[in-house]
């Protein structure tokens, strides 16, 4: 059962009430500090989110973007394995639970455990879930745990690790990815869509494959990434509705912004990856559409679709960055 849209609306509604008790100046200062922390080097011996003001600012500012990025990765997993449905889910470093909201929107009722080392984040996540989350999320377990080295994960169907790896040392990152690979039937890792975020995703991808998992998305294959290191990076974009806090902090007027993210989905069960993935925003020109593709034969290539292709051309005009290509027959 797909309840993504109602879940997204419920999350926005729950977040809308967060700022009522937080002075605007305090919210702005908390967001500014958090942005500086995430852009710099975060120490791994202390949580970034220190108190409720930090957590409220983070939730209002970052949860919608994290939700949309994880939702896109989960959509790719569902596309590759339409019959699979997780009964259990562990959200590693889940904080206030954005990834868990996305999971609750993708499937009806997985039993969720959120692990994080910031107790204020867990408390607010529980509060948000109880305020407007779907039943499975309201029943979730919110547990404090040190994320990184020596983390032990119980067997589970799905593990999500979103925007967490940057906060860890290289050694802790590898231990976390190995723990996820050993515990789960499917692992979803999401990082910022920057060159270093992509590098962390590729590192995790390699370890997941070495642990016996197969890549379900975004790659059409489980071979080495065809991008030459240092020349480019694979990332995608998700449209995010901007809250009043977004507009207040950034001074913008647009109702939306685009979240750039990199991700990998790997599984221990059979999947059918797409034949090719659109890796850049399609270029629509007069009578033609240019698509940058990562293909199943492990190559990057450009495909030009023109009016003479008929239905395929119309489909190309509706194709978005990150979509499968060619589209399923029913979408043509």
CB 147 within 8 A of CB 116: yes
Coil vs helix vs strand at 42: coil
Coil vs helix vs strand at 317: helix
**Global model pTM greater than 0.85:** yes
Q: How far is Cα 308 from Cα 314, in angstroms, rounded to an integer?
A: 10
Furthest-apart CA atoms within the chain: distance in Å: 60
286: buried, middle or exposed (CB in 10 Å: 19+, 13-18, 0-12)?
A: exposed
List helix spans (H) across 40-185.
52-80, 98-106, 119-132, 135-138, 170-183
Residue 158: C-alpha distances to residues 69, 84, 172, 245, 297 (Å) = 17, 11, 20, 32, 28
Q: How far is Cα 68 from Cα 98, in angstroms, rounded to an integer?
A: 9
- pLDDT tens-digit profile, the chain (332 residues): 344 446 888 888 888 776 665 666 666 666 666 666 555 555 445 555 666 777 877 788 788 999 999 999 999 999 999 999 999 999 999 999 999 999 999 998 899 999 998 898 999 999 999 988 889 899 999 999 999 878 999 999 999 999 999 989 999 999 999 999 999 999 999 999 999 999 999 999 999 999 999 999 999 999 999 999 889 999 999 988 766 655 665 555 656 788 999 999 999 999 999 999 999 999 999 999 999 999 998 789 999 999 999 999 999 999 999 999 998 765 44
The per-residue DSSP string of 227-287 comes to SPTTT----EEEEEEPPHHHHHHH----SEEEEEEEEEEEESS-----SEEE-S--EEETT
pLDDT at 24: 63
Q: Which of 237, 174, 183 is nearest to 202 (CA)?
A: 174
CB 300 within 8 A of CB 294: yes
Q: How far is Cα 174 from Cα 26, in angstroms, rounded to an integer?
A: 36
Tell me, rounded to whole angstroms, the distance of Cα 206 from its chain centroid. Answer: 18
| Residue-range domains of the chain with CATH | 4-267 (3.40.50.150), 276-331 (no CATH)
- Residues 107-125 as b/e (b if ≥16 CB within 10 A, e otherwise) read bebbebbbbbbbebbbebb
């Amino acid at each position: 059962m797909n309840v993504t849209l109602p879940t997204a609306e419920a999350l926005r509604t729950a977040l809308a009430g967060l700022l009522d008790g937080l002075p605007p100046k305090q919210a702005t200062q908390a967001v500014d500090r958090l942005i500086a922390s995430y852009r710099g080097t975060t120490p791994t011996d202390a949580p970034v989110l220190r108190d409720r003001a930090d957590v409220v600012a983070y939730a209002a500012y970052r949860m919608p973007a994290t939700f949309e990025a994880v939702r896109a990765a989960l959509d790719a997993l569902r596309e590759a394995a339409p019959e699979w449905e997780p009964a259990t889910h562990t959200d590693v470093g889940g904080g206030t639970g954005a990834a868990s909201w996305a999971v609750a929107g993708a499937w009806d009722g997985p039993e969720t455990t959120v692990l994080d080392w910031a107790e204020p984040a867990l408390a607010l996540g529980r509060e948000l879930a109880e305020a407007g989350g779907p039943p499975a999320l309201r029943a979730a377990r919110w547990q404090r745990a040190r994320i990184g080295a020596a983390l032990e994960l119980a067997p589970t169907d799905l593990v999500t690790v979103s925007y967490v790896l940057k906060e860890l040392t290289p050694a802790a990152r590898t231990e976390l990815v190995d723990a996820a690979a050993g515990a789960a039937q499917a692992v979803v890792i999401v990082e910022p869509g920057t060159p270093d975020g992509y590098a962390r995703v590729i590192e995790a991808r390699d370890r997941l494959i070495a642990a016996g998992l197969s890549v379900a998305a975004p790659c059409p294959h489980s071979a080495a990434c065809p991008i030459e290191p240092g020349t480019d990076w694979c990332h995608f974009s998700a449209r995010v509705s901007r809250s009043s806090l977004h507009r207040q902090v950034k001074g913008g007027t647009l109702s939306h912004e685009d979240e750039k993210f990199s991700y990998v989905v790997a599984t221990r069960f059979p999947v059918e990856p797409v034949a090719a993935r659109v890796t850049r925003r399609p270029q629509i020109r007069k009578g033609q559409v240019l698509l940058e593709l990562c293909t199943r034969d492990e190559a990057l290539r450009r495909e030009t679709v023109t009016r003479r292709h008929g239905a395929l051309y119309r489909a190309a005009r509706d194709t978005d960055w990150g979509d499968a290509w060619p589209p399923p027959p029913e979408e043509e």
